[in-house]
Amino acid sequence: MQKNTGRYNITVLEGDGIGPEIVAEAVKALYAISENSETKFDFNFKDFGGAAIDSQGEPYPEDTKRACESADAILLGAIGGDKWDGVDPSIRPEKGLLNMRKHIGTYCNLRPIKTFKSTSSLSPLKESIIGDGIDFTIVRELTGGIYFGEKKTIDSPDSLYAYDMEIYHKHEISRILKTATEIARKRDNTITIVDKANVLESSKLWRKISKEVIPEDITVDYMYVDNASMQIIRKPSQFTTMVTSNMFGDILSDEASVITGSIGMLPSASLGENSKGIYEPIHGSAPDIAGQNIANPVGTILSAAMMLKYSFNMDKESTIIETAVENVLDRGIMTIDLSPENYVSTSEFGDMVSKEIYSIYKNS
């Protein structure tokens, strides 16, 4: 097998709730890769989210920022929890995440929605709908739109109101559509643009710009978001590359995640102009099961696999992690969310994946 000889600096942000538990298993997988290759990883752990509010009074403190700036890639668990619901909105854990995405410039969020053979029976969708499996990618714009537009609550003597602005600039739309085009080129040259162009000006702009930047040999389907949310459960196999705004992508990716049987399974990569990316599962911090060693680490382990592929150009090693996860699941080894009667713990699952990585190398 071809050896990769890099040395990479990974800033690790465990975050809150189940964050530390799931991140530990992804680190194990990366360690197993480094033990079997010439590539070395330096892990630099920093406080982030609620944990950073507790230790330093803000969710994205200065030294975490510096560590993210100097990193080759960022591995993130999850953030937030009831504990910080009462804090000032400007320093909520979520604000730290949004600030980091903006600061690192990761405008493109890739969320692959993929069923595994061994868990597809857990999908709430009928077998006839799943067919041979679902495999599409949601390309979510991540640093613009309503998340970052002007927002305000006005409490005046005669009225109380609030607003959040959905703003998209041409360059923001162009670059995300270009990324979607690259992704589509690796699949079937088809892009579904999800919007609400029957109501929103910003959506109309997306459509206009799509006609300018997406080459003619790419087939573009336009779909309203309300219809898309229905089609995702009615006939998910019709999608390969879906591109959409920040908020629509947030909502649709949670919806799509349940197709795979558990929201715990899905990874994501947030990418910008250079190779630095933020890699995190799409699920939240699940404070209700934190500290019990029962969370599903698959989404985070697969996020580490995405890191190898997109930030370090280690496609082979990335596939090894994916195959290891798949092999372990195929043996019926699952966490409680997937197999409530007969399950392994978070750390046992991670150990199995790591062991499997060693044996894949041994047999290659």
What positions carry a catalytic annotation?
147, 196, 226, 250, 254
250 forms part of the interface with Mn ion (CB under 5 A):
yes
Q: How many residues bind Mn ion (CB under 5 A)?
A: 1
97 binds, among ligand IPM, Mn ion, none (CB under 5 to 8 A by kind): ligand IPM
94 binds, among Mn ion, ligand IPM, none (CB under 5 to 8 A by kind): ligand IPM
Judged by CB under 6 A, the chain residues 73 through 92 that form the site for ligand IPM are: 80
Q: Mind giving me the DSSP string for 217-284? A: TSEEEEEEHHHHHHHHHH-GGG-SEEEE-HHHHHHHHHHHHGGGS-GGG---EEE-SSS-EEE--SS-
71 binds, among Mn ion, ligand IPM, none (CB under 5 to 8 A by kind): none
CB of 328 to ligand IPM, least distance (A): 26
CB of 80 to ligand IPM, least distance (A): 6
Q: What is residue 190's DSSP assignment?
A: E
Strand partners, 45: 12
Judged by CB under 6 A, the chain residues 252 through 271 that form the site for ligand IPM are: none
* Cα-Cα-Cα-Cα dihedral sign, residues 102, 147, 277, 272: negative
94 forms part of the interface with ligand IPM (CB under 6 A):
yes
CA-CA distances (angstroms) from residue 79 to 53, 138, 285, 295? 11, 22, 5, 14
Q: Which of 195, 250, 326, 337 binds ligand IPM (CB under 6 A)?
A: 250
Q: Burial-class residue 162 by CB neighbours within 10 Å (0-12, 13-18, 19+).
A: exposed
97 forms part of the interface with ligand IPM (CB under 6 A):
yes
Angle at 250 between CA 249 and CA 251, to 5 degrees: 90
Query: Three-state SS for 359?
Result: helix
CB of 66 to ligand IPM, least distance (A): 22
Tell me which residues touch ligand IPM (CB under 6 A): 80, 94, 97, 250, 282
Residues contributing to the site for Mn ion (CB under 5 A): 250
